[in-house]
């Protein structure tokens, strides 16, 4: 008999029933998955990366399979922020009765700020998740998230125009993840989410050419989990704001491990593409795993691996 467990966590002032969220780009705008199960069992989810203008995305093919994950180069395909607000969020409101995380992409500081400002006005949006892995078109295509000053400039611009908590989603494709996380915190970020995908590539042996049209793409899945745990651990020690752990999570045990590393909440990404019910299964299995390891309140284990 599994004892009563407290799975609630608080993320930037918002209480969630559990720490399990679906990661941006793997859960659409939610209502697609609501056809399969009641998505209110989740803590929340981060909806598809949204930009100012509609984007078709990158050329096909843009998915490549790997033994322990997959590579994608979707290219922020989305209908643009105005359509998201007018069409997607009303449909989501019919099936999700919780706050949702809005994922924001941009190719200039001004675009990040404007998209965030518009989404900040939406009642259902609880947090703004700023994806600084996008290339800066005004600086030769270098991703905002690879430079502490560029990342902090985005954070300052967004914080100046929003009232809701700003979570900065960091790229692992950097030399010093801690320096960038600290720069974001100093600029006013309310939380840090990591990791985004790593850079990967596959080559087709028959054609002798890269599988993905863009040659390289974001590598995600179980193989990146140890890297994600390491970076969450490092960032938790360096900042005083909440951390969201992302990268290769597919089981309730993974959730516990990521929280011990320092995560307040977690996001499940690639696993949703393998099993659309995986988030529901993780939530349902959490009490059993908590009981197995003598955990009665999840909040008590956040950063537990740093003790002693």
Q: How far are the Cα atoms of 68, 134, 170, 246, 260 from residue 146, in angstroms, in the given order? A: 26, 10, 8, 18, 26
Would you state the pLDDT for residue 139? Answer: 74
DSSP assignment of 208-222: TEESSTTS-EEEESG
- Characterize the bridge pairing of strands 243-246 and 265-268: parallel
> Which residue, among 122, 109, 139, 102, has the nearest Cα to 25 in the 3D structure?
102
Catalytic residue (one of 12, 134, 184, 279): 134
Tokens of 69: 């994950």
Would you state the pLDDT for residue 142? Answer: 76
User: What is the pTM for the complete model shown?
Assistant: 0.96
Domain 9-306 CATH assignment equals 3.30.56.10: no
Please give the sequence-ordered ranges of beta strands (E in DSSP) within 132-274, or none if there are none: 166-169, 191-194, 198-200, 203-204, 209-210, 217-220, 243-246, 265-268
User: Is 95 in the active site?
Assistant: no
Q: What are phi and psi of 189, to 5 degrees?
A: -60, 145
Tens of pLDDT, residue by residue over 220-248, are 999 999 999 999 999 999 999 999 999 99
Sheet holding 166-169: strands in order across?
Answer: 44-45, 20-22, 265-268, 243-246, 191-194, 166-169, 125-131, 100-104
Low-confidence ranges of the chain (pLDDT < 70): 1-3, 137, 308
Residue 251 near residue 282, CB atoms below 8 Å: yes
């Amino acid at each position: 008999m599994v004892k009563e467990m407290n799975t609630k966590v608080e993320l930037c002032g918002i209480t969630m029933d559990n720490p399990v969220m679906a990661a941006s780009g793997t859960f659409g705008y939610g209502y697609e998955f609501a056809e399969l199960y009641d998505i209110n069992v989740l803590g929340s989810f981060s909806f598809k990366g949204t930009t100012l203008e509609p984007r078709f995305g990158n050329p096909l093919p843009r998915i490549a399979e790997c033994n322990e994950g997959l590579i994608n180069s979707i290219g922020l395909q989305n209908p643009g922020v105005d359509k998201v607000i007018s069409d997607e969020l009303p449909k989501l409101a019919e099936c999700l009765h919780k706050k949702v995380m809005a994922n924001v992409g941009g190719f200039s500081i001004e675009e990040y700020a404007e998209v965030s400002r518009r989404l900040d006005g939406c009642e259902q949006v609880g947090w703004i998740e700023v994806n600084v892995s996008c290339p800066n078109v005004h600086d030769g295509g270098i991703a905002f998230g690879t430079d502490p000053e560029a990342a902090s400039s985005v954070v300052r611009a967004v914080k100046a125009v929003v009232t809701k908590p700003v979570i900065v989603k960091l790229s692992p494709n950097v030399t010093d993840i801690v320096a960038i996380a600290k720069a974001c915190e100093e600029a006013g970020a309310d939380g840090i989410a990591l990791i985004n995908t790593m850079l990967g590539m596959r080559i087709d042996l028959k054609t002798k050419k890269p599988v993905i049209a863009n040659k390289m793409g974001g590598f995600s899945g179980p193989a990146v989990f140890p890297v994600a745990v390491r970076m969450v651990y490092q960032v938790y020690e360096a900042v005083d704001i909440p951390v969201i752990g992302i990268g290769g999570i597919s089981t309730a045990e993974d959730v516990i491990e990521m929280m011990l590393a320092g995560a307040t909440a977690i996001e499940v990404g690639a696993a949703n593409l393998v099993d659309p019910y995986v988030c529901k299964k993780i939530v349902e299995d959490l009490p059993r795993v908590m009981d197995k390891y003598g955990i009665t309140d999840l909040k008590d284990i956040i950063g537990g691996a740093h003790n002693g």
